[in-house]
Amino acid sequence: MSPADSQPNALAPGQPRRGLTLPVKATLTALLLPLLLGPAALPWWLSNPQRLSRIIAGTVPELAADITFENVRLGWIGPIALDGAKLVPRDGGQPPITIERVEGSRGLLAMLLSVGDLGRLTFVNPSVDLVIDEDHHSNLERLLTRQPSATDAAAPRAKRSPLRMRLAVDGAVMRITAPWTTDPWVSEPISLRASLTPVQTGSSEWTIEPVTLLDDASMDPPVAWGVLAYAAPVLADTTRSSGRFSLVLDGARFPVGDPAAGTLSGTLTMHKVVVGPGPLVENLLRSLPGEPPPPPEIRIAEDARVRFQLADRRMRHEGLAFGLPLPGGRRLDVESSGTVGLDDDSLDVKLVLPIPADLPQDRPLLAALSGKTLSLGVVGKLGEPEVVFDGSISRMAGDVARDLLERARGGPAATDDGTTTGEDVVDVVGGVIDEIARRRAARRAADQQGDVAPRRERLRDRILRPAPVPPPETKKAGPSITEDPAA
């Protein structure tokens, strides 16, 4: 048998070779052509601005706005370029954020191979229009804060982002508009560097590098009350402000989904800042003896360096000092420190007031307070402060009473082993404490009704009137304050 006979399926010489039929070839070509052309067509498919906007909207469902582009250029290898980016509210209104150009350092292939690392993105000439309403809520809050549904937890929580990136912002300009002023505040160009990365807790966070955000910027009312009041509560609800300030950020970390749980620190330096008296100053003055009227303006200590720090959802400040002019050219210096809650604007602030030593000597109450240091607490909310009193009032009571007695009697006050006890002293100074703690509200009501004499005048009469000398026939009726009860 020949080799050809042992291969029954072999083709005989001259016999035509059989292959795929034409319908089969057409079917395979129709199936393979999209797979072969798909990778090449993907950049073209994503370069449609409307299509890219819909993709972004699907990945960020909590954003109540659309990100639109005028022109999109994407490629597998080369860097990306997005022109005319805007954040457009879905309920209408002007875009609060516009970016002239977004430049990416990576192409689509590198992004896919790195599983979500977008590389370095550069925002060229962004513009942020921040509009604050009468309730001190901004237009960005309404767009970037998701309203929790019935199945969501009420409290915000950090989330993990599927993306990683390094962000460079160059030439950003912020514009702040508020209803308490007609002129908006416009910043000088701002530049910063940030990165979005996952953390060990399983979520992701933004990290901002140390930067001088503003240098010698104008202290206008929109930025003073709308932004800086969290680091300097004396600026809250002030409709007038002038001067210059600088803002340095030491660094910041903000969790994705819950930025108020982040941390930051920095320094706010105020250069010759003058503001109109807000609620904090007005309530402070109403709490002081004599109720001095609010001055037309207050001055922040020149080049005051206010250190601020965000932690545990509260903004802490220290180093803030401001002066209140008093009659006669005197000045009452006030030092402020404490915290403001980011979620509810709640106040927990301490004010320290060194009382001037040269107060008028013809008013015994003020004279007795001369040279003392008074500390007050401030609670309530930012823009709605309430002044409360701490233990310094009790500690001062004995000293004030002894000074008053010494001035009234012309000699040193009685000691603990003398005829006047500590309870007597506290009783004498009770009107002073009431005058401060109750802001004299009850006494003002009594003055208006005209039925009783003000308690302060009764106290002054008790202190300033000479000690009565009993007649000889009535001397045994009872001991006076200067007599020995055991006699």
Burial of 415: CB neighbours in 10 Å, binned 0-12, 13-18, 19+:
exposed
Give the Cα separation of 322 and 270 in Å (integer): 11
Give the Cα separation of 11 and 19 in Å (integer): 13
DSSP-derived letter for residue 159 is: -
Blockwise average pLDDT, block size 10, the chain, 487 residues: 49 52 55 54 78 82 87 87 94 91 90 87 96 85 61 68 92 92 91 94 93 94 90 88 95 91 95 90 78 84 93 95 77 90 93 75 60 84 84 56 56 44 40 47 55 47 50 45 38
The SS3 assignment for 270 reads strand
Task: Name the token pair of 176.
Answer: 């702040």
- 454 domain residue, yes or no: yes
Q: Which of 143, 121, 118, 119 is nearest to 130 (CA)?
A: 143
pTM equals 0.71
Task: Name the token pair of 222.
Answer: 């929109």
Give the Cα separation of 222 and 240 in Å (integer): 10
- Beta strand residue intervals within 153-240, DSSP E: 164-177, 185-186, 190-198, 204-208, 211-218
Please, what sign has the CA dihedral across residues 206, 212, 218, 221?
A: positive
Beta-bridge mates of residue 172? 190
- Which pLDDT belongs to residue 348? 95
Q: Which of 367, 379, 378 is nearest to 432 (CA)?
A: 367
- Which pLDDT belongs to residue 265? 97
- Which pLDDT belongs to residue 51? 85
- 72 domain residue, yes or no: yes
Pairing label, strands 211-218, 204-208: unpaired
Give the Cα separation of 351 and 289 in Å (integer): 16
Neighbours of 359 (CB within 10 A): 21
Q: In Å, how far from its chain's centre is CA 365?
A: 39
Please tell me the total count of domains within the chain.
Answer: 2
Angle at 97 between CA 202 and CA 78, to 5 degrees: 70
- Which pLDDT belongs to residue 441? 55
Q: In Å, how far from its chain's centre is CA 232?
A: 9
- 122 domain residue, yes or no: yes
Neighbours of 484 (CB within 10 A): 8
Structural domain boundaries, residue 86:
39-145+159-197
Q: Say if residues 416 and 422 touch (Cβ distance below 8 Å).
A: yes
- Which pLDDT belongs to residue 240? 85
Neighbours of 228 (CB within 10 A): 21
Task: Name the token pair of 182.
Answer: 């007609």
- Which pLDDT belongs to residue 446? 52
CA distances from 117 to 110, 197, 446 (A): 8, 9, 73
SS percent in the chain: helix, strand, coil, step 5: 30, 35, 40
The SS3 assignment for 122 reads strand
Give the Cα separation of 365 and 403 in Å (integer): 9
Measured N-to-C along each axis, helices 22-46 and 49-59 cross at an angle, to the nearest 10 degrees, of: 80
- Which pLDDT belongs to residue 470? 55
The SS3 assignment for 225 reads helix
Task: Name the token pair of 67.
Answer: 């990100």
Segments in 16-106 forming alpha helices (H) = 22-46, 49-59
- Which pLDDT belongs to residue 169? 96
Nearest-Å Rg of the Cα atoms of the chain is 37
- 468 domain residue, yes or no: yes
CA dihedral (55, 57, 58, 59) in degrees, to 10, reads 90
Give the Cα separation of 13 and 64 in Å (integer): 75
- 329 domain residue, yes or no: no
The SS3 assignment for 221 reads helix
- 456 domain residue, yes or no: yes
- 436 domain residue, yes or no: yes
- 409 domain residue, yes or no: yes
- Which pLDDT belongs to residue 347? 95
